Amino acid sequence: MYRTGQRIALVATADPHTELRPGDKGTVRSFDTRLQQLRVTWDSDSRLSMLLDDGDEVSVLS
């Protein structure tokens, strides 16, 4: 579903402590299908992982 190097944009996150905002862009480092955890290097230098089963949502950029 997600591939290393793929570009994504943040749609929403359930993390109330992050400075990331909808529309922020990043690059996929890895995707764990078992945990539905998307590891991302964000353009802002954040490395916050997305927990897709816990309310985080991203969109793939073309």
Question: pLDDT of 4-19, one tens digit each?
Answer: 999 999 999 999 999 9
- The answer to whether residues 12 and 56 touch, using CB atoms and an 8 Å cutoff, is yes
* CATH classification (class only), 7-60: mainly beta
Q: In what order do the strands lie in the sheet with 25-32?
A: 50-51, 37-42, 25-32, 7-12, 57-60
Q: Note if the pTM is more than 0.85.
A: yes
Query: How many CB atoms sit inside 10 A of residue 45's CB?
Result: 7
Query: What's the Rg (C-alpha) of the chain?
Result: 10
User: What pLDDT sits at residue 34?
Assistant: 97
DSSP 45: S
CA–CA separation, 32 vs 39, rounded Å? 8
